[in-house]
Chain A
Amino acid sequence: MVAPGQGGLKLARRRDRLGAPLTWLCGGALAVNLVLVAGLIGLIGVRGFGHFWQAPIVALTLDDGTRVLGEPWGVEEIPESAGATRTRIKTGNRDVTGRDFVWIDDAKLRLREEPADAVVIERREWGNFYGTPVELRHDGQEVARGPARVLDSLAAAHASALAEFDAIWALEQGEMASLNRRLEELRLAERRLALGGSGAAERAQRQQRIEQRRAAVEREYQGLASQVADRRQALGADVLVVRTIAGDMREIPVAEIVRLVPANRLGPGGRIRLYLERLREFVGGEPRESNTEGGVFPAIFGTVLMVVVLSLVVAPLGVLAALYLREYAREGAFVRVVRIAVSNLAGVPSIVFGVFGLGFFVYTIGGTIDELFFPEALPTPTFGTGGILWASLTLAVLTVPVVIVATEEGLAAVPRALREGSLALGATKFETVWHVVLPAAAPGLMTGLILAMARAAGEVAPLMIVGMVKLAPALPIDGQFPFFHPERKFMHLGFHIYDVGFQSPNVEAAEPLVFATALLLVLIVSLMNMVAIVLRNRLRERYSTSAV
């Protein structure tokens, strides 16, 4: 209570003195939030985009004469030392030394060079190799010697080896895989025959036919397999001999090389080209080395496909439910309760939906489908295990409240006058809803849909239960009939982050790739959310003047 007079004014002033700093404290809290957001995005951005940048290769000579070749990978203070620092060097050569990184005590460093001949070789297996090219051999015969010449002649050999490697891969993934599938189909047909109730004579006859076909397919398969083996053998003829900094010689088959980068000879243009090439490989390429290297294309594909399937399910359901709640149901206690419940359902933890999806979609529905339509494959489940369809449906259940709420908001924002005008012109209720209200509320639906898609793209916990795998052998869409395989397992960007970051044997080496994946995911999700925010704001503004 502020008493009148001098004392009261003083009191008020004293409170005022306290007031301003407390206001500033609130400002500080906001600043902390902004710093956190900016810092987080900055961290992911720098680390994620930095992943593709080729740093120069350094050769370090230490006090005791040991030499180390690799890329500098950050400096830190040595714990419990007075300001001494150490540098982490990515030395690669996992197959030689058994590890990817070494720590170099900066105080013990005697010499630091950037040898021009040093190259980094990205390999299909064993990670990067750091060293100097010595010789290129074909069938044990020297083709070129000395770093410069080797690099020159390698280009052509590498290109042809890559083409051949891709051809073999295509053969394996294409014809051989399809033969394999036919063998599996024959096995299932045999099982079906054993389960089915046909007569003994007919059964024997069919069994014979299956045997014949199987023999033919197996013959064909053997032919292809030996052909592939021969071509593999031939592919191994080109060998690059390299020397590690310690002086050890190593032979690397040219076909095993993904990319050879003479890092210290690259000009700025070369570096940028390399950067873009790596970026393209990351977005469009297949993963290597149990996902810790190479691209994330299958994960992107899986995420996008899942989101598309989800939106096909969620959009009609959400619209129908919202129309019912807003336009058709009689406003009352029931609708109010339902509305609150639906909006709160969006706050139920996603893992709960995962558990539901596992119990309901995978085990109950999937298990029933298996029993009815795929008894011959049991006990191996077809639909009775996690797959892209179940994952999409689980996330659809998870996100349908989001769509319902947003669509309802959109419907509510349509002014009454618009509806009344349409009705007054003689349109039926449905015609009004369909031709007038819904189009006007479309931004609301779109907002909800995009929010749902963004949530689904970033959600991992329920998917861990209902359908994701580390490494899916085949995409859910391919050239095999019926082209879309809803029962297949798939890869997902978010799960990729969890898996590579926490389950892979070599987390340290994989960390940069995880940052890049995280960046990609954050970009996708943020972009979708921003579009949704803009749409929603536009919707709010559109009717803010005309509404009551």
Chain B
Amino acid sequence: MSVPAALARLRRRRRADRAAGWLVRAGGAAIVLSIFGILGFIVVQVLPLFRPARVELALSIGTATGQPRGLLSDPWAEHVVEVDGDGRLSVVRVDDGARVAEASPLGAGVRPTAVALARARDEVALGTADGRVAIAVVSFEAHFAAGVRRVRPRIEVVESVVALPGASVGALSLQSLASGRLLAAASPAGDVVLLRLVREENAFTGEVISRVERQNLAATGEVVRLELDDAGRRLYGVRHDQALVWWALDAPDAAPAHVVEAGGRGAITALAMLVGGRSLLVGRASGAVEVWFEATRDGQPQLLRARVFDLFDAPVAALAPSRRHKAAVAASVDGDLALFHSTSERTLWRGHAAVRGAPALVMAPRGDAFFVASSADVDLFSIDAPHPELSLGALFGRVWYEGYPKPAFVWQSSSGTDDFEPKLSLVPLLLGTIKGTLYSLLIAVPLAVLSAMYVAQFMAPEVRRLVKPLIEIMAAMPSVVLGFLAGLWLAPRVAAILPAFVLAVVLVPVGSVAAGAGWEALPARWRRHLPRGTEVVFFVIGVLAAARLGFDLGPWFETTAFGGDLTGWLAGTLGLPYDQRNAVVVGVAMGFAVIPIIFAIAEDAFENVPSNLVSASLALGANRWQTVTRVVFPTASPGIFSAVMVGFGRAVGETMIVLMATGNTPILEWNPFNGFRTLSANIAVEIPEAPQGGTLYRVLFLAALALFVLTFTVNTAAELVRGRLRRRYASL
């Protein structure tokens, strides 16, 4: 090869070398970084949970109808219906402020004495001074013309009934149900009447029969406000002395009123029901909004004040609940606004609307906007609050959920209905995780550490080489197989073998000591001729014999100690109910999974204790065991610690075993004989059903993030401890 050619080749090789170097550096760094991108991605998925709500004034349109007494919104927040003091309904198009429909259900010139809105179906009830009630329905029909969507609002008067003959309608509430309408009306004289406007269609003739069922409700004084729940089961009212009264409409008898004493909290200025029809919002003159719901306490259904939002300095003028969340907007007489969520106890946003006079409010059906109206104009605010039901308190604190007698930690993410209150407390899951981990470590740590000590310190190297792979195979056992065995094979048998198991905990150590003694008792001549490692066979025989004895004595033990029925004894004497798939089963199965992990690291730590330390100890006259406890164990203890940490990390994240061997019930109990639900199993159970980007989805990502950070931290700490140990060994 000529010199120039060789030089050219050299240059080519150098170029290739440099290129390869850059490629490896760039690629390697990219891979390493993208592995950590996982963490970043999960964090990005979680962050929106804690984003504050954004509420903005979208537009403002003038009104000319005077002081509105009520508002309705179409599904797209494109039209707003005003009900004014003259009993006139007018539909205003938001885009241009044009009045596109108008009607006076009571007839011209008749002023309503009471107005009630059934927002779920866009219905308005108007009551008069002569006891008459008229009901109008506003409908919004969307149709497409030349590719453009147009909405045509229509107002239709559907009913006109005499609710209170000869008396003025002072308070009114309307609810529209599948079976017909429900109307509650109260007169200043103290009469409260419930009307069921039933519409029945004859299945054969198609003929529609309307009839009115009237029920007089007992009241103890004038009722100034009324509010029906969504299902028509409860009627709430405010008495003139500001006491809350309520009637159980589904009760068989003529519904006597329950009275909740006012307790001097100030006048009630607004009433509304949250979606789901269980929580009653009570606005006070003090500017506070209270959330009340019914729960059984002391065996009695009671209306309880669950929480208070101190929103304003001025009296609450209007409340507008969302139809999507347990959230509502409140307005004060001064035009102060607040958006709050009941479950999370979060006041999501506060603001102000330039209003004159008491404002009226309505939340758009999709919960993404609300209207505020006063005599001056109508303001449309847009709401961007994707996860209002979540707060740190809702995740980690006790929350007083609807229908619960007191605050509790509950995980119940979903149910069949839309108006369900999601209960997203991570506490039961965290506790379940710790419970499962604890019971498995209780089983795994002694077995793994002791056997690691034996293998590293007392075993001949050639035997060690046979035993260690066996335990490594144990590590390779797929967790789904362990879970299957635990759930289907072990769980049904545990109840029967539990006494034997308890006995075995005592007998197996005795058996192994006996086996050791038996080995020692053999004449030294024999022992020399037996192959090395035979003592392990002795131990296995001892352990098996002890276990066998435990099984044989199990029934006797159960009879003498527990009256022949251990599970009954547990439930009766200790108050521990017994589930088939319980923490003991998980402890055994997960212990099996964790043992090899702890063993590997602990064995490594024991084995690498510098031999000069051991020799020095032995030379000073200490025996083998003294050396192990006084020299080897203290030296290796950081390694043991690190082994337990890594085992902990494995147990915390284990999914399949827990999923298959527990009942997956998110309960808050330490009882070893019932089930639990861990963070990891919860993710596996729920994420396939969680809509992408929804609150549950993000909460499950949060759970994954917690697992990631926890195990990563624990493993890193363990690694650092081990690193220090290695350096110490090296220096010894």
Q: Does B729 have its Cβ within 8 Å of any Cβ on chain A?
A: no
- Chain A residues near B115 (CB, 8 Å)? none
A320 contacts the other chain (Cβ, under 8 Å)? yes
| Contact B447–A431 (Cβ < 8 Å) | no
Per-residue CB contact flags for chain A residues 463-505 toward chain B (1 = under 8 Å, else 0) read 0110000000000000000000000000000110110011000
Q: Are B451 and A29 in contact (CB under 8 A)?
A: yes
For the complex, what is the distance from the CA of A429 to the CA of B693, rounded to whole Å? Answer: 49
Per-residue interface assignment for chain A, residues 355 to 392, with 1 indicating a CB less than 8 Å from any chain B CB and 0 otherwise: 11011100100000000000000000000000000000
CA distance A27 to B565 in the complex (A): 34
B711 within 8 A of A: yes
Answer yes or no: A526 CB below 8 A from chain B CBs: yes
The verdict on B454 contacting chain A, using a C-beta distance below 8 Å, is yes
Binds A, one of B85-93, B130-138, B204-212, B617-625: B617-625
- Chain A residues in 8 Å Cβ range of B446: 29
Task: Bits for A327-371, please: 1 = Cβ < 8 Å to B, else 0.
Answer: 111000000001011111101111111111011100100000000
Report A15-52 CB contacts with B as 1/0, cut-off 8 Å: 11011111111111111111111001001100000000
CB distance from A510 to the nearest CB of B (A): 10
- Inter-subunit contact B25/A31 (CB<8 Å): no
Report the separation of the CA atoms of residues A354 and B38 in the bound assembly, to the nearest whole angstrom: 11
A26 to B446, CA, bound (A): 9
Q: Is the CB of B42 within 8 A of A30?
A: no
Residues A324 and B451 in contact in the complex (CB < 8 Å), given A341-B36, A498-B656? no
A528 to B535, CA, bound (A): 31
Closest CB in chain A relative to B713 CB, distance in Å: 9
Given contacts A20-B520, A529-B475, 15 further A-B contacts (CB under 8 A): A16-B626, A23-B625, A25-B450, A27-B516, A29-B451, A33-B599, A36-B595, A40-B477, A40-B485, A354-B684, A359-B41, A461-B680, A497-B484, A501-B488, A502-B488
Residue of A397, A498, A533 touching B483 (CB-CB under 8 A): A498
* Beta-carbon contacts under 8 Å, B595-615 to A: 595, 599
- Can you list 22 A-B pairs, Cβ within 8 angstroms, ordered by A? A12-B626, A20-B516, A24-B512, A26-B450, A26-B454, A27-B515, A27-B516, A28-B450, A28-B509, A29-B448, A31-B539, A31-B543, A33-B447, A328-B25, A345-B35, A348-B707, A359-B701, A465-B684, A498-B656, A521-B481, A525-B478, A530-B473
> Is residue B50 within 8 Å, beta carbon to beta carbon, of the partner chain?
no
Q: Which residues of A contact B479 (CB under 8 A)?
A: 458, 460-461
Partner among A34, A324, A351, A460 whose Cβ is within 8 Å of the Cβ of B478: A460
Contact partners of B683 in chain A: CB under 8 A: 351, 354-355, 465
Residues of chain B within 8 A (CB-CB) of A397 are 35, 38
Q: Indicate if the CB atoms of B25 and A324 lie closer than 8 Å.
A: yes
Bin the interface of chain B by size: 35 or more
B458 at interface by CB-CB < 8 Å: yes
Complex formed: what's the CA distance from A351 to B20 in Å? 36
Of B9-17, B224-232, B338-346, which binds chain A? B9-17
Contacts of B539 in A (CB 8 A): 24, 27-28, 30-31
A395 at the B interface (CB under 8 A): no
Query: Does any Cβ of A come within 8 Å of B666's Cβ?
Result: no
Of the candidates B32, B496, B711, the one whose C-beta lies within 8 Å of that of A324 is B32
* Chain B residues near A144 (CB-CB < 8 A): none
Q: Determine the chain B residues whose CB is within 8 A of the CB of A168 once the complex forms.
A: none
Contact between A24 and B516 (Cβ–Cβ < 8 Å)? Answer: yes
Q: Are A343 and B719 CB-contacts (below 8 A) given A36-B592, A351-B655?
A: yes
> CA of A526 to CA of B448 in the docked complex: distance in angstroms?
20
A359–B37 Cα gap in the complex (Å)?
13
Stretch at the interface among B147-155, B282-290, B305-313, B463-471: B463-471
Give B500-555 interface residues, CB cut-off 8 Å to A.
508-509, 511-513, 515-517, 519-520, 535-536, 539-540, 542-544, 547
Asked if A401 lies at the interface with its beta carbon under 8 angstroms from chain B, I say: yes
A contact residues around B394 at 8 Å (CB): none
Stretch from B96-104, B243-251, B646-654 that touches the partner: B646-654
Q: Is the interface of B mostly helix, strand, loop or mixed?
A: helix
Distance in Å from the Cβ of B500 to the closest Cβ of chain A?
13
A530 to B471, CA, bound (A): 11
Complex Cα gap A31–B514 (Å): 13
Min CB distance B412 to A, Å, is 21
Q: From known contacts A28-B511, A29-B450, infer whether A321 and B31 are also in contact, taking CB-CB under 8 Å.
A: yes
Residue B76 is within 8 A (CB to CB) of chain A in the complex: no
Given A465-B688, A507-B488: A24 and B515 interface contact (C-beta under 8 Å): yes
Distance in angstroms between the alpha carbons of A344 and B683 in the assembled complex: 21
B453 within 8 A of A: yes
User: Given the interface contacts A360-B41, A465-B684, A507-B488, does A30 sit within 8 Å of B455 by beta carbon?
Assistant: yes
Q: How far in angstroms is the closest Cβ of chain B from A127?
A: 18
Alpha-carbon gap, A31 to B485, bound state (A): 21
For the complex, what is the distance from the CA of A44 to the CA of B540, rounded to whole Å? 20
Contacts of A356 in B (CB 8 A): 38, 41-42, 704
The digit string for B5-35, where 1 denotes a CB below 8 A from any CB of A, is 0000000011011001100110111011001
The answer to the question of A518 belonging to the interface, with a C-beta cut-off of 8 Å to chain B, is yes
* A residues near B687, Cβ cutoff 8 Å: 354-355, 358, 465
Q: Give residues in B with beta carbon < 8 Å to A.
A: 13-14, 16-17, 20-21, 24-25, 27-29, 31-32, 35-36, 38, 41-42, 45, 446-448, 450-451, 453-455, 458, 467, 469-481, 483-485, 487-489, 496, 508-509, 511-513, 515-517, 519-520, 535-536, 539-540, 542-544, 547, 564-565, 592, 595, 599, 621, 623-626, 628-629, 646, 649-650, 652-656, 659-660, 680, 683-684, 687-688, 692, 700-701, 704, 707-708, 711-712, 715-716, 719-720
Known: A27-B535, A30-B539. A363 touches B496 (CB 8 A): no
In the complex, the answer to whether A461 meets B469 with C-beta atoms within 8 Å is no
Give the complex CA separation of A321 and B29 in angstroms.
Answer: 7
B467: A residues at CB distance < 8 A: 30, 34
Q: How far is the CB of B693 from chain A (nearest CB, A)?
A: 8
* Least Cβ–Cβ distance between B638 and chain A, in angstroms: 16
Q: Which residue of B lies closest to A336 (CB)?
A: B723
Q: Is A428 an interface residue (CB 8 A)?
A: yes
> Would you call A525 and B543 a contact (CB within 8 A)?
no
B473 contacts which of A321, A329, A338, A529 (Cβ < 8 Å)? A529
Q: Which of A2, A43, A341, A502 contacts B485 (CB 8 A)?
A: A43
**A313-327 interface code vs B (CB 8 A; 1 in, 0 out):** 000010011111101
Q: A337: nearest residue on chain B (CB-CB)?
A: B716
B282 CB to nearest A CB, Å: 41
- Whether A31 pairs with B473 at a CB distance below 8 angstroms is no
Q: For the complex, is A430 an interface residue (Cβ under 8 Å from B)?
A: yes
How far is B519's CA from A436's CA once the two chains are assembled, in angstroms? Answer: 52
B654: min CB distance to chain A, Å: 7
Distance A433 CA – B28 CA, assembled complex (angstroms): 15
* Interface residue from A31, A428, A522 paired with B14 (Cβ < 8 Å): A428
A320–B31 CB distance below 8 A: yes
Q: Is the CB of A19 within 8 A of B650?
A: no
A347-B701 in contact given A30-B539, A320-B31, A465-B688 (Cβ < 8 Å): no
The answer to whether the Cβ of A190 comes within 8 Å of any Cβ in the partner chain is no
**Cβ contact within 8 Å between B28 and A28:** no
> Chain B contacts of A401 at CB under 8 A?
35
From B474, B509, B712, contact of A345 by CB (8 A): B712
A167 to B701, CA, bound (A): 49
Tell me the minimal C-beta distance from B558 to chain A in angstroms. 10
Q: Which 9 A-B pairs have the closest CB atoms?
A: A324-B28, A28-B512, A349-B653, A24-B516, A19-B625, A458-B478, A29-B450, A30-B451, A26-B454
The answer for the CA separation of A271 and B470 in the assembled complex, in Å, is 34
Residue A114 interfacial (CB < 8 Å):
no
Chain B residues with CB under 8 A of A329:
25, 28-29
For A345, what are the chain B residues with a Cβ–Cβ distance below 8 Å? Answer: 35, 712
With both beta carbons as reference points, the residue of chain B lying nearest to A338 in the complex is identified as B32
What CA separation (Å) do A325 and B707 show in the bound complex? 27
Complex CA–CA separation, A321 to B23 (angstroms)? 11
